[in-house]
């Protein structure tokens, strides 16, 4: 054949191929809309129903030839087996169903692939423990109406994209679901299935940040079995990028406050009823939400066990987790409702790792501390062991000093074994010198209520005094209990308290002196609790013990509780608010899990000497706690009291020198407190008050005298007012007096008087430190009533000069003005019978006060009263 002929033949072949392709394309585009498949709708429904083993409903079917022949189904619903509920097992708005072409040659319509998008799938677990997917996995032949067996219907390739998988327990839909899920399920070989799943865990009854719940991926193989739980399976599950806070909300419905990133891996081989499981759980950056610790917690634990689904039991548990340079090992069996048996082994766990773990939940503990030493030992829990008391060994442990007092009994019971702490050394932080414990041991003892066991250990810690502190710790699953007994210097105890993160350590900040005696106990749950008001024990006011130490739990979360006493001898207390130190011959601090009470406190402050009681209440951190101070003085001088509280300008005294050096600012600031002052006597210039009781509220700018009552010159006086601390202390007072003895009052002014008691009231404002400043600044008003009285004259002079109206009178009432360093009588009436007169008089402040009378006004007859 010539070259021209061959070229012509090739052109004809290309034209035929192009024409055939065009014809097929036109057929694909034109024929499907012209072909109605709705009349085959029942056959399509039956084919899908046979493939899934469930009744199927759909609203519309369209034919599709590309990319492969199939149907586009609208509004597909797959009904549920009535034994699992009434809600459809699957619903999708649009479904693509592929056709097995070879089945058409045999005159059958079989579905090869079902693809859904944005579908809703329900996984249901019945009360008998069966799942609604059981029938889907069974491909046994279906019976014809005549009882013969039909050939098995191959399971189509099932896939779902961007769908939602819901979980139900019987008819109850649980809040857990998997969203944005991609699911593939297919029969790889006859009787062998593969499944692939990827999605985001979600919960419908709480708000979640889905970006932090992580991604779950699953790969699995299954083989045919009569029931789902008996199917041989191989599953690999991975859960990555889960944030602990969101994961807690997902699993528990609440956020307990943990943060960090979690990755979980699991492999399962066997059957769902009995499988060999290996897991790996790793987390990084674990910490509490309230703070960021210096060293966040990382862990990586590998576990293996055999799980029995029907028995809900775990056998041959073996977990291994490295911790620092050491290792934690856990082995045992956990039968459901049976008798668990586990063994925990510690292999040279670094004390620093334990300290870092504690600081992830207690930010205040061990700030800046570094720990040396290791923990090793083995603990066994065997629920079949019978409790039996064992006497402590009389043989002392080398390098461990026994604490004073009776040792708790060891208990041979479910928990046995011991943990040994070797070479503990705590240094840095608040500790000027390290704490060292060469060896200590934790062993099981009975709990306070005798119904359980705790790990208990005792060691001694030198604290700068002649004898050490006895340190005892008890640990349970619920919480801890630590007690301290012994003596130590205030400085060393302050360092230890700060290292332990005790907020009460501030009570020792301003104390120095001889050794302090301690008898303290702190206890609480492992996780910190919110600041709440605690329910006190009925009728006693005592704080309840923490959960796990023999006391019932209260409804509110229980925070740490510090109780006990601190006794001071020959100490001194100094704060920035005080000009000089308060000397404390003896004082006792009572701690009751929140409130702190100093009672009694014997003290001297400058010239002041007395006893006191201070109550520092427990309160919300957002509010200011106002302490209550009660002070009792055998005798008191007002000048000394003013100098102690507000400073003094009296030169040449030690107190004034200290104040001038330490408080150069004229504004003397005081902490807020409220208090009561009692004094057998109070010297107030020329007057001495007896049996004084005063209530006051002190702030940074001064004090409010809410009430003061005292005996004055044979009578009684009641005063209220304010004292403001500024450049000079300013007083604003008002009060009433009753039945003041005129003889004693006049004696102050060197007069001789007689008669019944005086009643009256008045107001006065004055400012300053010295008597002259107070007298010159005084201004106010005064009113008094004096019945059946007489003024005989001056004590050391003739009676001349006393107005006749005052020689004897039935009633003398007067208003007076205080000012210009004196009290000047204003309108007044001295009445004797029907006669009435007025008196002009001025009382000039001084020692003694000087009284001068003006020209007396003549009396005028009064009408007899009816």
* Nearest of 823, 695, 689 to residue 766 by alpha carbon: 823
CA distance 8 to 819: 137
pTM: 0.67
Number of CB atoms found within 10 A of residue 521's CB? 19
Given the structure tokens 């290792």, which residue do they identify? 327
Torsion of CA 27, 29, 31, 37, to 10 degrees: 140
CA-nearest of 196, 205, 198 to 163 is 198
Report the range of poorest mean pLDDT among 701-710, 759-768, 857-866: 857-866
Mean pLDDT of 111-120: 83
pLDDT confidence bin for 100, thresholds 50/70/90 = low
Q: Residue 139: what pLDDT?
A: 43
Which DSSP category does 83 fall into? G
What is the predicted pLDDT for the residue at 574? 75
Residue 105, helix vs strand vs coil: helix
Average pLDDT for residues 614-636, to the nearest whole number?
80
- DSSP 3-state assignment of 425? strand
- pLDDT mean across residues, the chain: 78
pLDDT at position 423 is 92
- Contact between residue 810 and residue 832 where contact means Cβ atoms under 8 Å apart: yes
Which residues make beta-bridge pairs with 455? 444, 475
Q: Look up tokens 């693809």; give the residue.
A: 115
Task: Dig out the tokens for 475 from the structure.
Answer: 């640990």
Ramachandran bin of 90, using left for φ above 0, alpha for ψ from -120 to 50, beta for the remaining angles:
beta
Three-state secondary structure string covering 666-723: CCCCCCCEEEEEEEEEEEECCEEEEEEEEEEEEECCEEEEEEEEEEECCEEEEEEEEE
Q: Is 27 exposed, middle or buried (0-12, 13-18, 19+ CB in 10 A)?
A: exposed
Is the pLDDT at 665 greater than 70? The verdict is no
pLDDT value for 364: 76
The string of DSSP letters for 387-398 reads PEEEPPPSSPPT
What SS3 state is found at 271?
Answer: strand
For 375-401, write each residue's pLDDT tens digit.
Answer: 999 999 888 776 555 555 444 444 334
Tell which residue, 270, 268, 273, has the closest CA to residue 129.
Answer: 273
Q: 520, 496 in Cβ contact below 8 A? A: no
Phi, psi of 672 (to 5 degrees): -75, 135
Token look-up 């620092």 returns 324
Residue 189 tokens read as 């070989």
* pLDDT of 155 higher than 70: no
Q: How confident is the model at residue 332 (pLDDT cuts 50, 70, 90)?
A: very high
Mean pLDDT of 61-78: 76
pLDDT at 137: 63
Residues β-bridged to residue 717: 710, 737
Q: How many CA atoms lie within 13 A of 546 on its CB side?
A: 27
**Strand, helix or coil for residue 4:** helix
> Higher model confidence: residue 303 or residue 27?
303
CA distance 797 to 800: 8
- The predicted-structure confidence for 538-585, as pLDDT tens digits, reads as follows 333 333 333 333 333 333 444 677 888 888 888 887 766 666 778 888
Contacts 24+ apart (CB under 8 A), 398-401: 398/439, 399/438, 399/439, 400/438, 400/439, 400/440, 400/441, 400/458, 400/459, 401/459, 401/460, 401/468
Q: Could you tell me the CA-to-CA distances from 305 to 258, 333, 597 in Å, in that order?
A: 27, 9, 54
Q: CB-based contacts of 507: which residues, under 8 Å, 6+ apart? A: 566, 589, 596
Q: What distance in Å separates the CA atoms of residue 716 and residue 737, rounded to the nearest whole number? A: 6
671-695 burial code (b ≥16 CB/10 A, e <16): eebbbbbbbebbbbeeebbeebebb
Tokens of 840: 């002009």
Question: Is the preceding peptide bond at 134 cis, omega within 30 degrees of 0?
Answer: no
Do the strands 157-169 and 172-189 form a parallel or antiparallel pair, or are they unpaired?
A: antiparallel
Contact criterion met (CB below 8 Å) for 216 and 177:
no
pLDDT for the residue numbered 772:
81
Please give the structure tokens belonging to residue 51.
């493939």
**pLDDT, tens only, 767-809:** 887 778 888 899 999 999 999 999 887 766 554 578 888 889 9
Could you give the CA distance from residue 563 to residue 543 in angstroms, rounded to a whole number?
A: 9
Is residue 405's pLDDT more than 70?
Answer: no
Which value, to the nearest 10 degrees, does the dihedral of the CA atoms of residues 650, 735, 742, 837 take? 120
| Of 293 and 806, more confident | 806
**Two tokens, residue 176:** 């857990």
Tell me the backbone φ, ψ of residue 225, rounded to 5 degrees: -155, 160
Token pair, residue 534, equals 């605690």
The region of weakest confidence among 200-214, 230-244, 408-422 is 408-422
* Cα-Cα-Cα-Cα dihedral sign, residues 354, 360, 365, 367: positive
Report which of 641, 633, 751 is spatially closest to residue 705, judged by C-alpha positions.
641
At residue 235, does pLDDT exceed 80? yes
The pLDDT of residue 855 is 65
Cβ-proximal residues to 11 (8 Å cutoff; 6+ apart), any chain = none
What's phi and psi for 137, nearest 5 deg? Answer: -85, -20
pLDDT class for 146, splitting at 50, 70, 90? Answer: very low
> Taking residues 440-454, what's their average pLDDT?
84
Peptide bond into 227 cis (omega under 30): no
CB atoms within 10 A of CB 429: 15
The long-range contacts involving 249-256, CB below 8 angstroms and separated by at least 24 positions, are 249/203, 249/206, 249/208, 250/176, 250/201, 250/202, 250/203, 250/206, 250/208, 250/213, 253/175, 253/203, 253/205, 253/206, 254/206, 255/289, 256/527
Q: For 256-290, what is each residue's pLDDT tens digit? A: 788 889 999 999 999 878 899 999 999 888 888 87
Q: Which of 57-61, 184-188, 306-310, 637-641 has the lowest mean pLDDT?
A: 637-641
Listed in sequence order, the residues at least 6 apart from 147 whose beta carbon sits closer than 8 Å to its beta carbon are: none
Confidence band of 222 (pLDDT split at 50, 70, 90): confident
Residue 235 contacts residue 219 (beta carbons within 8 Å): yes
Q: How far apart are CA 128 and CA 391, in angstroms?
A: 51
Q: Which residue has the tokens 């704060």?
A: 575
DSSP string across 226-269:
SSGGGSEEEEEEEEEEEEHHHHHHHHHSS--SEEEEEEEEEEEE
For tokens 């809703």, what's the residue? 120
Report yes or no: 521 and 564 within 8 Å, Cβ to Cβ: yes
More confident residue, 20 or 400: 20
pLDDT surpasses 70 at 534: no
CA dist., res. 305 & res. 320, Å (int): 12
pLDDT exceeds cutoff 60 at 435: yes
Residue with tokens 């022949």: 69
Using pLDDT thresholds of 50, 70 and 90, give the confidence band for residue 338.
Answer: confident
Looking at the chain, the whole-number percentage of residues with pLDDT higher than 70 is 76
Phi and psi dihedrals of 696, rounded to 5?
-145, 155
Cβ-based burial of 497 (10 A; exposed 0-12, middle 13-18, buried ≥19)? buried
Helix (H, G, I), strand (E, B) or coil at 316: strand
Please give the span between the terminal C-alpha atoms of the chain, in angstroms, as a whole number: 165
Looking at per-residue confidence, does 846 or 379 come out higher?
379
Which residues have C-beta within 8 Å of that of residue 717, sequence separation ≥ 6?
A: 689, 708, 709, 710, 711, 735, 736, 737, 738, 740
Residue 194 exposure: Cα atoms within 13 Å on the Cβ side = 9
Alpha carbon distance 276, 449 (integer Å): 41
Distances (CA, A) of 448 to 416, 551, 842: 18, 8, 77
116 vs 124: CA distance, rounded Å: 20
Least confident of 29-33, 107-111, 314-318, 416-420: 29-33
């Amino acid at each position: 054949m010539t070259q021209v002929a061959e070229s012509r033949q090739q052109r004809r072949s290309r034209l035929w191929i192009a024409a055939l392709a065009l014809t097929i394309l036109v057929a694909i585009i034109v024929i499907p809309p012209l072909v109605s498949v709705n009349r085959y709708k029942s056959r399509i429904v039956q084919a899908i129903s046979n493939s899934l083993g469930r009744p199927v409903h759909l609203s519309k079917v369209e034919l599709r030839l590309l990319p492969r022949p199939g149907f586009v189904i609208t509004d597909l619903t797959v009904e549920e087996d009535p034994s699992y509920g009434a809600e459809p097992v699957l619903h999708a708005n649009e479904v693509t169903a592929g056709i097995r072409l070879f089945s058409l040659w045999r005159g059958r319509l079989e579905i090869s692939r079902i693809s859904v998008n944005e579908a809703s799938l329900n996984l249901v677990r019945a009360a008998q423990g069966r799942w609604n997917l059981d029938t889907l996995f069974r491909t046994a032949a279906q019976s014809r109406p005549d009882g013969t067996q039909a050939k098995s219907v191959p399971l189509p390739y099932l896939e779902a994209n961007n769908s939602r998988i819901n979980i139900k327990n019987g008819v109850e839909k649980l809040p857990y679901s998997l969203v944005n899920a991609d699911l593939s399920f297919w029969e790889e070989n006859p009787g062998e299935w593969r499944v692939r799943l990827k999605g985001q865990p979600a919960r419908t009854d709480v708000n979640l940040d889905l970006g932090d719940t992580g991604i779950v991926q699953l790969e699995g193989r299954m083989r045919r079995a009569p029931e789902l739980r008996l199917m041989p399976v191989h599953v690999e599950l991975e859960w990555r990028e889960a944030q602990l806070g969101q994961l807690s909300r997902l699993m528990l419905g609440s956020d307990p406050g943990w943060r960090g990133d979690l990755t979980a891996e699991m492999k399962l081989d066997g059957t769902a009823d009995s499988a060999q499981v290996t897991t790996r759980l790793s987390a990084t950056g674990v910490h509490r939400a309230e703070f960021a610790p210096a060293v966040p917690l990382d862990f990586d634990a590998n576990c293996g066990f055999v799980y029995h689904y029907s028995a809900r039991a775990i056998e041959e548990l073996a977990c291994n987790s490295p911790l620092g340079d050491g290792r934690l090992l856990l082995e045992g069996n956990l039968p459901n409702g049976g008798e668990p048996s586990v063994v925990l082994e510690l292999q040279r766990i670094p004390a620093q790792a334990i300290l870092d773990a504690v600081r992830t939940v207690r930010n205040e503990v061990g700030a800046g501390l570094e720990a040396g030493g290791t923990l090793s030992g083995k603990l066994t829990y065997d629920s079949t062991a019978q409790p039996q008391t064992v006497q402590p060994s009389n043989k002392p442990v080398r390098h461990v000093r026994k604490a004073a007092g009776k040792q708790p009994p060891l208990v041979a019971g479910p928990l046995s074994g011991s943990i040994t702490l070797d070479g503990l050394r705590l240094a840095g932080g608040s500790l000027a010198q390290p704490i060292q414990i060469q060896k200590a041991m934790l062993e099981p003892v009975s709990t306070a209520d005798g119904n359980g066991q705790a790990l208990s250990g005792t060691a001694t810690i030198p604290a700068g005094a002649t004898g050490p502190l006895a340190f005892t710790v008890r640990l349970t699953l619920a919480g801890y209990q630590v007690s301290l007994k012994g003596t130590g210097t205030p400085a060393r105890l302050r360092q230890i308290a700060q290292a332990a993160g005790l907020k009460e350590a501030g009570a020792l900040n301003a104390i120095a002196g001889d050794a302090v005696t301690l008898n303290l106990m702190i206890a609480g749950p492992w996780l910190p609790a919110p600041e709440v008001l605690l329910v006190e024990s009925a009728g006693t006011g005592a704080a309840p013990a923490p959960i796990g130490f023999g006391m019932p739990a209260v409804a509110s979360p229980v925070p740490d509780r510090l109780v006990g006493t601190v006794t001071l001898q020959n100490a001194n207390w100094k704060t920035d608010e005080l000009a000089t130190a308060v000397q404390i011959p003896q004082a006792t601090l009572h701690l009751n899990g929140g409130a702190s009470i100093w009672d009694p406190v014997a003290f001297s402050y400058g010239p002041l000497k007395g006893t006191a009681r201070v109550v520092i209440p427990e309160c919300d951190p957002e509010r200011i706690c106002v302490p209550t101070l009660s002070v009792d003085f055998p005798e008191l001088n007002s000048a000394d009291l003013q100098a102690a509280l507000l400073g003094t300008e009296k030169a040449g005294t030690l107190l004034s020198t200290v104040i001038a050096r330490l408080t150069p600012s004229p504004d003397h600031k005081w902490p807020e407190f409220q208090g009561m002052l009692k004094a057998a006597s109070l010297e107030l210039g020329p007057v001495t008050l007896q049996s004084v009781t005063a209530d006051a509220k002190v702030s940074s700018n001064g004090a409010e005298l809410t009430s003061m009552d005292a005996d004055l010159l044979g009578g009684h006086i009641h005063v209220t007012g304010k004292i403001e601390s500024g450049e000079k202390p300013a007083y604003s007072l008002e009060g009433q007096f009753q039945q003041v003895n005129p003889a004693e009052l006049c004696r102050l002014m060197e007069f001789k008087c007689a008669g019944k008691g005086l009643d009256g009231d008045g107001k006065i404002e004055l400012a300053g430190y010295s008597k002259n400043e107070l007298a010159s600044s005084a201004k106010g008003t005064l009113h008094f009533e004096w019945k059946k009285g007489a003024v005989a004259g001056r004590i050391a002079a003739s009676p001349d000069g006393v107005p006749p109206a005052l020689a004897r009178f039935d009633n003398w009432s007067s208003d007076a003005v205080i000012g210009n360093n004196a009290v000047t009588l204003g309108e007044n009436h001295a009445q004797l019978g029907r006669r009435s007169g007025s008196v002009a008089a001025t009382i000039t402040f001084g020692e003694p006060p000087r009284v001068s009378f003006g020209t007396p006004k003549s009396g005028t007859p009064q009408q007899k009263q009816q």
